[in-house]
A and B are shown apart, each in its own frame.
Chain A
């Protein structure tokens, strides 16, 4: 039963990731990405990382995707883009296939074990975050602060910026 659910979720994850790639309009890519992020959250939940599954939905599928969709609407990018670079794409496709040819059998053989019964619930993650990793947590809050100020300064319309 779990296997069937896993294959459905994995298939949807892969299909929506490919959807981001092949959709002509950026808005459709964004909608595919929302589905992709929800499916990643489902995979986290299958791995018993409950806190991260929730945070994934709130932070990624909520906050970041709202920002992305907002920018796409703001710039009104509804037209299709110019021709994608097929040369670079073919080259990297060959490189990726060659890498996977070597990598995937090794990965499959090495990690064919089932995991421990670790539960990533809010309590244990919060305990670790506020004791052992308290300094990293504070640095992360400073980083968010810097990012907010930086985003406001970059997106602000100055006199020098207005050329058209």
Chain B
């Protein structure tokens, strides 16, 4: 049985990679996928702590995170399509209509 610190360190690094992707990339769909990476890193810590404490409620939390992620995917991609229709681009720098 591996020590659980392995999982927690891996999840922290994955969260960092996802956050870096949100900062660096300009394609809205890739930014969206990096948010999914961050959500999955948090899910991994949830399951690890659930294992650590011998308590199933962390896994229930992961279940609800998955539900919210599915809802977020549906609405987020609809917004991306809607924005693409009006400005014909998905780059984050191209949609600066509200910028002063």
Inter-chain contacts of B7 with A (CB < 8 A): 43, 47
Decide: A100 and B37 in contact? CB cutoff 8 A: no
Main secondary structure of the interface of B (DSSP, over half): helix
Give the size of the chain A interface in residues (CB under 8 angstroms). Answer: 86
Could you give, for residues 97-127 of chain A, a 1 whenever the CB lies within 8 Å of some chain B CB and a 0 otherwise? 0011001100111111111101010001100
Candidate in A71, A103, A114, A116 with the most chain B CB atoms within 10 angstroms: A71
Nearest Cβ distance between residue A20 and chain B, in whole angstroms?
Answer: 6
Decide: A29 and B66 in contact? CB cutoff 8 A: no
Nearest Cβ distance between residue A16 and chain B, in whole angstroms?
Answer: 9
Residue B99 lies at the interface, judged by CB distance under 8 Å to chain A? no
Decide: A133 and B60 in contact? CB cutoff 8 A: yes
Could you give, for residues 44-76 of chain B, a 1 whenever the CB lies within 8 Å of some chain A CB and a 0 otherwise? 100110111111110110111011111111110
Nearest Cβ distance between residue A63 and chain B, in whole angstroms?
Answer: 7
B40's partner among A40, A67, A82, A110 (CB-CB below 8 A) is: A40
Q: State in angstroms the CA–CA spacing of A116 and B2 once bound together.
A: 12
Inter-chain contacts of A52 with B (CB < 8 A): 43, 47, 59, 62-63
Interface residues in A1-43 by Cβ distance below 8 A to B read: 2-3, 6, 10, 13-14, 17-18, 20-21, 26, 29-30, 33, 36-37, 40, 43
**CB pairs A–B below 8 angstroms (20 shown):** A14-B17, A20-B21, A30-B29, A49-B62, A67-B74, A67-B77, A75-B80, A75-B84, A108-B5, A110-B5, A111-B8, A114-B4, A115-B52, A118-B54, A125-B56, A125-B60, A128-B56, A144-B71, A150-B75, A154-B79
